[in-house]
Amino acid sequence: MTTIARRTQDLTASRAPFVHATVVRAQDPTSARPGDDAVILPDGTIEGFVGGVCAENSVRAAALDALRDGSALLLRVLPDGAPAFPDTPGARVVVNPCHSGGALEIFLRPVLPVPVLGLVGDTPISAAVATLAAFLDFEVATSGDYAGATAVVVAGLGKGEQDAIRAALDAGVGHIALVASRKRGAAVLDELALSDAERARVRTPAGLEIGARSPQEIALSIMAEVVRALRVDGLASSPARPAALPQQAVDPVCGMTVLVGPDTPHVRIDGTDHWFCCPGCLDRHVAA
């Protein structure tokens, strides 16, 4: 197993988001070769090799964009003066003036931790929810610690409901599904004396209205509502997708997108900050 393969395993096990970058095409002259790979972390750090410093700047910027939206991307890195190669859905073209003359195509695959579903209760419904959630690639947590959970399903049918709802609200969970009738669910929430904002985060009766009767059908309606909250309503999928990523800037000399960090070449002129891909561009800008 390669060093990068081991690193991706470690990052996945620790639930850390990252991007796996793989060179799929390299046109000489270029230092990278097909099969070279690297991981890019949310702070822009690159571990591995997918090209020289000019390619790395473009890879960093594209990888962080992929982390933001969770979509894979094919990055085409072309030398200055190359024939036009239009952007297409799922692909991005960048031109690096400092490129040695070759071209690269790099596949960027964001790897985000699977969403966590907190589950409360020891009932046939909670068992069905656990089975279906695992099938849908959720990590099911029954420990009562809801930090980082995408959603919490409270299916105790009268046992431990209020404590679980309060704990999930305090943990910042955006979707809390209380399995109860409309009347009983409203009574439970009334006793909790929730604010309007907190009450809006609790769904009761839990699940979409599909006429569900059996525990399995009820679990289907509950998980369908959770998936809709994720995919349609924009429910944040926990800390899986980083909210804060490094600032980006455009090099005023070569036009490259660079990440702003303590080691990024920088100058402040007339109250305006300028960031550069390399010291050479900084020197040319200052000289001009």
Which tens digits make up the pLDDT trace of 187-230? 999 999 899 999 999 999 999 999 999 999 999 999 999 999 98
**pLDDT, position 87:** 63
Position 119 confidence tier, pLDDT thresholds 50, 70, 90: very high
Radius of gyration of the chain (CA): 24
**pLDDT, position 216:** 97
CA distance to 71, 119, 150, 227, per residue, from 234 (Å): 15, 21, 11, 10
Rounded to the nearest 5 degrees, what angle is found at the Cα of 26, between the Cα atoms of 23 and 29? 135
- How far is 113 from 17, CA to CA, in rounded Å? 6
Which tens digits make up the pLDDT trace of 128-183? 999 999 999 999 999 888 988 999 999 988 888 999 999 999 999 999 999 999 99
Please give the structure tokens belonging to residue 88.
């297409």
**pLDDT, position 272:** 82
Which tens digits make up the pLDDT trace of 220-277? 999 999 999 988 887 765 444 454 556 777 777 776 677 676 677 888 887 788 877 6
Question: Does pLDDT of 83 surpass 70?
Answer: no
**Any residues with CB less than 8 A from the CB of 72 and at least 6 apart, and which?**
66, 90, 107, 108, 109, 110
**pLDDT, position 239:** 44
CA 223 to chain centre: 21
**The pTM is what?**
0.67
